[in-house]
A and B are shown apart, each in its own frame.
Chain A
Amino acid sequence: MTARSLQSGAPARERAATPSTWSRIWQNDAPGYLFLLPWLIGFIGLTVGPMVTSLYLSFTDFDLLTSPDWVGADNYIRMFTNDAKFWTSMRVTMFFVIFSVPLKLAFALAVAMLLNRGIRGLPLYRALFYLPSLLGASVAIAILWRQIFAGDGLVNKLLLLVGIEGPSWISNPQYSLWTLIVLSIWQFGSPMIIFLAGLRQIPTDMYEAASLDGASKWRQFVKITLPLLTPVVFFNAIIQTIEAFKSFTPAFIISGGTGNPINSTLFYTLYLYQEAFAFFRMGYASALAWVLLAVVGVFTAFSFFTSKYWVHYDE
């Protein structure tokens, strides 16, 4: 029987004999869903499930030991009206994001530009510079960092060689957050690799045309490299900002989980951790997590909205 006869004039008996839509979909798509299953289980079990639970818990008072008590929006109201530590942690995190992201991106771009000059042994340098990104967020590096920046650490010993008596970078609230910012900049490898790939995409003849026009290296950088790199800058900025908002381990290790001195390293995530696992206020911690998600979401949406004014896509 041809497809045409089935479509048009097939008797009802024959049509009834054809498989139902659902079973046909199942037959056609089952292998696809089967392959998808491991991820789907993980996504629902480890991402969607906890998210929905945490959203529910954010409207409750929950200490892990007794059942959650529904408190409505109390957690959110308290956060914005009656929690100085919330504002402190938000301010510390914002400061960290505002300074660490641009500095890290600028440093990553500078190194990428150096590596883009066709130097010998490029793969080796690329791997070496990427190494801190792999190690950077680890506990071991944070501990090492704490040693290096301690009052009698390596940094101060080096400074002493040139006659400068350095402060205790970690225990002085004036410098402690900057130490974390420097640690974050040190992990420039990932955006650097992406910048390097972006730089390689810019056709050489654009620079040649500019040099024939008499454009200096700086003008070429400002007028050609940066604008053509904006899609990559945009991508790196979004990713690094989200990472910065989520930053936890270095502050936790360096401040010993306290966010001290004088809450100067009390990252938002650290405060959230304290509320959840030190004070067992799971409901409140969940509300904090949702506010962080909202802040990151608003920032990302704002970035996408403004991108049409400053990100140049070739095609």
Chain B
Amino acid sequence: MSTNIELSRIVKAYGDVSVIHGIDLTINPGEFTVFVGPSGCGKSTLLRMIAGLEPITGGDLLIDGERMNDVPAARRGIAMVFQSYALYPHMSVYQNLAFGLETAKMPKAEIAERVAKAAEILKIEPLLTRKPKQLSGGQRQRVAIGRAIVREPRIFLFDEPLSNLDAELRVQMRVEIAKLHNDLGNTMIYVTHDQVEAMTMADKIVVLRAGVIEQVGAPLDLYNNPKNLFVAGFIGSPKMNFLTASATDTTLNVAGGSLTLDRPVTGATTLGVRPEHITLTPGSGAKLADVRVDLVENLGGQTVVYATTTDNQPINIVLEGQSPVTLGENVAAHIDPARLHLFNADGDAI
């Protein structure tokens, strides 16, 4: 049932302007892969090339070993959920779900059966006679997913499907899509610019920037071992702190102080540390820097501290629970040296 996708040196250019610069990627059967990256990084273009909605300029796209570059979209066994849902406003929910099957000239009884099954999975049975304009955002999203399910495709593609929903609904739909993947077991590719969606849903994350893959890996792999400054800054929320540093052998000079590490770090110019890995408790790990508290956000379960080092570098700290930190206070920030990330002048991790 599950399908393997192979991208080999995939290139996309519009005239002289190249937007995807030779991408190699393997997506294993049944995998939930998320393409993530900032706006304009080429993630949607890549998805559309896999879907067959954009011609591939160069390279090979293989689905289950078969070259698909010139195969029309409809014959790739792919269903796609669009950011705008792309529901037909003049058709009822039932007609929207049935459209693809009617196009394929499927018998009416089978169409009814498939629509009923999809409606049951997505809990949209009471909505089948309604028009899209009579549905809420979340319901429309379900119908859009339903339209993909009824076709029983080999591969599901999602192009930023949750970006039009409010925050609460987004979390809810995120869970539902993840469940759907567990239930159906199909290969799915999901595009988002929201790294939280990527982290929570993906089996495999593909981080893209300016048409090239920066890193591919499991969510925690990317979180724990980012390959470069870009991935380190993109994955994780709040963002990783970056402090200018210099190093000689095992000594790292940063924020007016110095840290002695258990390995040589010569060449390190940037120290990265996640806000949640910093504590203000004396004796917990090594002292990183003295900081002045500029702003405190008490979220109840967490306290977010916005601070500045003595050499004027901004640093954010996330403390578990409700910490009694006061504005303008000078405190010492401590870290576990094992959770430090160091990058050289090229931005690569060392």
| A interface residues, Cβ below 8 angstroms from B | 203, 205-206, 208-215, 219, 223-224, 227-228, 230, 312, 314-315
Contacts and interface: CB of A to CB of B under 8 A. Distances in A.
Contact of A215 (B52, B90, B103): B103
Contact of A213 (B52, B83, B90, B99): B99
A203 B87 CA distance: 10
Contacts of A227: 88, 90
A104 to B, nearest CB: 24
Contacts of A224: 88
Contacts of B89: 228, 312, 314
B74 interface: yes
- Which DSSP category, helix, strand, loop or mixed, fits chain A's interface? helix
Contact of B100 (A208, A213, A315): A213
B84 interface: yes
Contacts of B86: 203, 205-206, 208-209
Contact of B74 (A212, A230, A312): A212
Contact of A209 (B75, B80, B133): B80
Given A211-B53, A224-B88, A315-B133, 14 more contacts: A205-B82, A205-B84, A208-B53, A209-B82, A212-B52, A212-B73, A212-B74, A212-B78, A212-B80, A213-B103, A214-B100, A219-B103, A227-B90, A228-B89
B299 interface: no
Contacts of B341: none
Interface of B: 51-53, 72-75, 78-80, 82-84, 86, 88-90, 99-100, 103-104, 133, 147, 151
Name the 5 nearest CB pairs between A and B, nearest first. A214-B74, A213-B100, A312-B90, A205-B86, A209-B86
Contacts of A219: 103
A88 to B, nearest CB: 42
A20 B79 CA distance: 70
Contacts of A209: 80, 82, 86, 147
19 contacts: A203-B84, A206-B86, A208-B53, A208-B73, A208-B80, A208-B86, A209-B82, A211-B74, A212-B73, A212-B78, A214-B75, A215-B74, A224-B88, A227-B88, A227-B90, A228-B88, A312-B90, A314-B89, A314-B133
The residue among A210, A212, A213, A215 with the most chain B CB atoms within 10 A of its own CB is A212
Contacts of B78: 212
Contacts of A315: 133
Contact of B103 (A206, A214, A312): A214
A215 B78 CA distance: 14
Contacts of A214: 74-75, 100, 103-104
Contact of A212 (B53, B83, B84, B133): B53
A314 B135 CA distance: 12
A210 B147 CA distance: 11
A285 B7 CA distance: 77
B84 A213 contact: no
A134 B78 CA distance: 49
A218 to B, nearest CB: 11
A211 B103 CA distance: 10
Most chain B CB inside 10 Å of its own CB: which residue of A210, A214, A215, A224 = A214
A211 B75 CA distance: 10
A214 B72 CA distance: 9
A312 B99 CA distance: 17
Nearest to B80: A212
Nearest to A230: B90
B52 to A, nearest CB: 8
A87 to B, nearest CB: 40
B133 A210 contact: no
Identify which of A208, A209, A213 gathers the most chain B CB atoms within 10 Å of its CB: A209
A35 B195 CA distance: 57
Contact of B82 (A208, A228, A230, A314): A208
A42 B103 CA distance: 57
B133 A228 contact: no
Contacts of A206: 86, 88
B82 A213 contact: no
A202 B86 CA distance: 10
A172 B82 CA distance: 58
Nearest to B78: A212
Contacts of A312: 89-90
A200 B310 CA distance: 57
B96 to A, nearest CB: 9
